[in-house]
Structure 1
Amino acid sequence: MFIQKAWRSTAFGIYGYLNFTKSGFLEHSKKFKEEDMKMQIQGKNCVVTGANSGIGYATAEGLAKRGATVYMVCRSKERGEAALSKIQSVTGNQNVFLEVCDLSSVGEVKSFASRFSSKDQPVHVLVNNAGILEQNRSTTSEGLEVNFAVNVAGTFTLTELMVPLLEKAAPDARVITVSSGGMYTTPLTKDLQVALTEKWTEMYGNKGIGFYTMHPGWADTPGVTKSLPGFSKALSGKLRTNEEGADTVLWLALQPKEKLVSGSFYFDRAEAPKHLALAGTSSSHAAINSIVDSLRSLCGLSS
């Protein structure tokens, strides 16, 4: 077991350094097609969580530039308003709105979903970008560990409650979940990883909703600087920009669905492996059914 863990970490470090850094993006971008990003999506409603900074901000700005109606879901009203004002100014798109919601609270997520659903309008794109990496253990007022609360429980609850609105946008509806490369080093236990996207595809694929996960690479976001200062310092100048990190999110939002494979994991505009060779993580995906049942119960969602 120790040898396998050591192999996972070593393989991930090498794989990540070669692929997830800015140099990896520049190398992969040689294969990008410029026309893929020129599409305009006026009239499409896009919801982006964690949109006031980092990859979420770059995603919201990129969607607004292409004419979408963008709903920025942010925890901080003050930071959200500042980001909203900046995006409207830069893009000239006034159809950008702020929705205040703390994704670490299942109760707040339910309130937001109920409030948003009352608009009774289709959601064409849901981007599950919000995520945190707190090093010190703490719990929310609902008794959930804070990383789990945001990265799993809040994201799961929001996606489940958005399904009826996504159905209204079928067959073009899609959910894009930003994942962490850390999934390569650990089997599935109680974390989101890419398995929930596979499960959502199985459950809701016949409703005209596509589900995709993507890895942004190692980007120089405020979250990385705060949570992983040593990592950020060691790779100073080698990390991706927020725009480079958000590139595949935007690509997934813009492509015709027939070009995409629901349930798949994407990196730099291409399908990517979900497991590293010999890492011993693939068999753990069998646990997803019981995890989904547990999440439904934990988050108070009906089956």
Structure 2
Amino acid sequence: METQIAGKNCIVTGANSGIGYSIAEGLAQRGATVYLVCRNKERGEAALSEIQTRTGNENIYLEICDLSSVTEIKSLASRFSKKNVPVHVLVNSAGLIEQNHVTTSEGFELNFAVNVLGTYTMTELMVPLLEKASLDARVITVSSGVMYTTPLNTDLQYSAKFDGLEQYARNKRIQVALTETWADKYKNKGIGFYSMHPGWADTPGVAKSFPSFSKSFSGKLRTSEEGADTVIWLALQQKENLASGAFYFDRAEAPKHLAFAATSGSHALINSVVDSLNSMASLFV
């Protein structure tokens, strides 16, 4: 964990607060050039200034992008392509738990748009830049242990009576299955793909979405720094010590399915999900 990664370019989504902020700060402390991808310009600028002050690292940059918008993600990817710099680490940290059914301007359910479609589009469009750093390139997606409660489901926009937490769990299961898919699809590109569970951390997102839970467990949840620990560990390890496609928890590979949860066979549906995502984002067509 003391490894310095000066000269490496790291992109962290959702970096202005919570675990995303702690990941960005941890990478900056180790000398990386860090790009904060944030939706809100003011909060993003505040996070950038604070990380620079706390770490003494001036190589921190802000990219404004609403990750619920495929259009904005494509614009971000285009800007990065023009920089023509290798991307050593992409951290898909931005996540959302919206309890109400909200539809984006592009017609997608909001949780799904951020957690799945946004994560998928961002990752696929960054592959050419990740290839430029292929010996060391890796993608780390922040999933959640709540995915253990649900099998993979192809009803991506939740057509039944809406349940925000169930949708979030479904989204997080898809992220784990996508990580497996990417690991196989790009195994010859020299890019490692990892998903992870940060543990239950006391973040602004948890406090907003689950106020009673947050209050009940006040002082018992992990800090954002503790939630970020395994992501930073994954970013620093030699790739030969990691398993591409694996799911990690507390610096160790963890199972993706619990006994008797009837989720293991569901990952066979991921190809159908990928086809839907490619169509929605107009990728590979």
Q: TM-score, structure 2 length as denominator? A: 0.93
Q: How is 1:134-149 mapped onto 2 (pairs within 5 angstroms)? A: 134-149=98-113
The alignment status of 1:127 with 2:91, answered yes or no, reads yes
Detail structure 1 runs of 4+ shifted over 4 Å in the superposition. Answer: none
Larger proportion of helix: 1
What's 1:242 paired with?
A: 224
Q: Which one of 42, 46, 51 corresponds to residue 78 of structure 1? A: 42
Partner SS for 1:214: strand
What's 1:59 paired with?
A: 23
What's 1:270 paired with?
A: 252
* Per-residue Cα deviation, 1:88-127 (whole angstroms, up to 9, x for no partner): 0010000000000000001000011101111001000000
- % identical equivalent positions: 75
In 2, distance between residues paired with 1:233 and 1:184?
Answer: 24
In 2, distance between residues paired with 1:235 and 1:299?
Answer: 39
Partner SS for 1:98: strand
In 2, distance between residues paired with 1:283 and 1:64?
Answer: 40
Q: How is 1:34-183 mapped onto 2 (pairs within 5 angstroms)? A: 37-183=1-147
What's 2:181 paired with?
A: 199
Q: What runs of 5+ residues in structure 2 fail to find an aligned partner?
A: 157-170
What's 1:227 paired with?
A: 209
What's 1:5 paired with?
A: none
**Residues 55 and 245 in structure 1, CA contact (< 8 A), matched pair in contact too:** yes
Note the C-alpha offset of 1:193.
3.2
Q: How is 1:1-12 mapped onto 2 (pairs within 5 angstroms)? A: none
Q: How many corresponding residue pairs?
A: 267
Q: TM-score, structure 1 length as denominator? A: 0.87
State the structure with bigger RCO (CA 8 A, min sep 6), 1 or 2.
1
User: Considering only aligned residues, what root-mean-square deviation do their CA atoms show, in Å?
Assistant: 0.7
In 1, distance between residues paired with 2:34 and 2:86?
Answer: 12
What's 1:212 paired with?
A: 194
Higher Rg = 1
Note the C-alpha offset of 1:234.
1.6
Note the C-alpha offset of 1:231.
1.2
**Residues 180 and 193 in structure 1, CA contact (< 8 A), matched pair in contact too:** no
